[in-house]
Amino acid sequence: MSDNNREYSNEEITVFWKPDLCIHSEVCFRSLPRVFNPKRRPWVKVEAAETSKIIEVVDKCPAGALSYKNKNDIDENKPSDENQTKIKISKDGPAIITGNFKIINIDGSELNISGKSALCRCGASKKMPFCDGSHREINFKG
């Protein structure tokens, strides 16, 4: 993953930002612009809203570019079916994979993914194997 990854913390959670996974859905800044504002630096301001509202918006991120960890979270206590890897095919868009998994690239390099990630189905992404939102530009159907 990229060195451009960022973390933003308040007293309750840390929000993680992985720009390589972003598909530019715009869900975050349309839902909560006082926290997620791409024109501001830093663009995530976790002290600008209640933590519950931030979590609600981060959970809507379709690609997993945004994620969070509650400072009191203990992952081992989650039920096992929540730890199961899931793949959701988006209409006219990427395959959204949620869980812990490994991607093995053509060159043999490996990426360990934890959380959510969007993989390209249209073939137009410039960030393969990840979706970069190009499916909208080519009007992908499928």
Residues in contact with ligand FES by CB under 6 A are 23, 93-94, 120-122, 124-125, 131-135
Q: Classify 26 in phi/psi space as left (phi over 0), alpha (psi -120 to 50) or beta.
A: left
For the CB of residue 98, give the shortest distance to ligand FES in the complex, in Å.
16
For the CB of residue 125, give the shortest distance to ligand FES in the complex, in Å.
4
CB nearer to ligand FES: give 27 or 44.
27
Measure CA of the first residue to CA of the last residue in the chain; give whole Å. 28
For the CB of residue 103, give the shortest distance to ligand FES in the complex, in Å.
15
Instruction: Using the structure block, give the residue that is written with the tokens 């975050």.
Output: 28
For the CB of residue 102, give the shortest distance to ligand FES in the complex, in Å.
20
Q: Helix, strand or coil for residue 121?
A: coil
CB nearer to ligand FES: give 54 or 131.
131
Contacts (Cβ under 8 Å, ≥6 apart) of 81? none
CA 52 to chain centre: 18
Question: Which residue type does 87 have?
Answer: I
Tell me how crowded residue 94 is: count the other CB atoms within 10 A of its CB.
Answer: 25
CB nearer to ligand FES: give 44 or 131.
131
CB nearer to ligand FES: give 66 or 135.
135
